[in-house]
Amino acid sequence: MKKFLVLIALLAPLGVIADDVDGITEPQWKDFVPPAFVDVEEPKGLGKLNETASYWYKRRVEFDEAIEKCRVIESPDDKFTCYQDVKVKQYQKNSDYNARIEAQEQARMGPQEMYDRTDTMLPIGGYLNTFTRFQPNELR
């Protein structure tokens, strides 16, 4: 609970630029999305192969639905809490997305020992270990 309150305290100033409805600032989609995907539309045709655009489109639909649910709330305190929950969820999703992208980059790069510029030798030991691990005659 303490982390949630600290997160709300840190995120509250970020919404000052957003539209003011009933004295409460409404979260804006552009605050949570990379600039290239602010106006993302549903991918059609070959665009469906673009996983990134599909991901951000789905996130936008979920965001818009959450904002609509918050707009229906009458009580200003409950509306404020709802908007804060939307912000926290979006920041958490961004954190998860960034971690996933970073993990994919690390997997694509391979072991760091292969990219050590100070060593002029190839990491033959790593290749041999990988090669011997998959021998077809090995008993398991």
Please determine, for residue 16, whether its predicted confidence score (pLDDT) is greater than 50: no
- If we measure between CA atoms, which residue out of 17, 34, 39 comes closest to residue 97? 34
60-69, 112-121, 129-138, range with the lowest pLDDT: 129-138
Single pTM value for the model: 0.60
According to DSSP, the residues that pair with 24 across neighbouring strands are: 21
Average pLDDT of the residues of the chain = 75
Please determine, for residue 39, whether its predicted confidence score (pLDDT) is greater than 70: yes
Query: How much is the pLDDT for 93?
Result: 94
For the chain, what are the domain ranges? 2-133
Residues 6+ apart with CB under 8 A from 99: none
Determine what percent of the chain is predicted with pLDDT higher than 90: 36
Q: Could you tell me the pLDDT band of residue 41, with boundaries at 50, 70 and 90?
A: confident
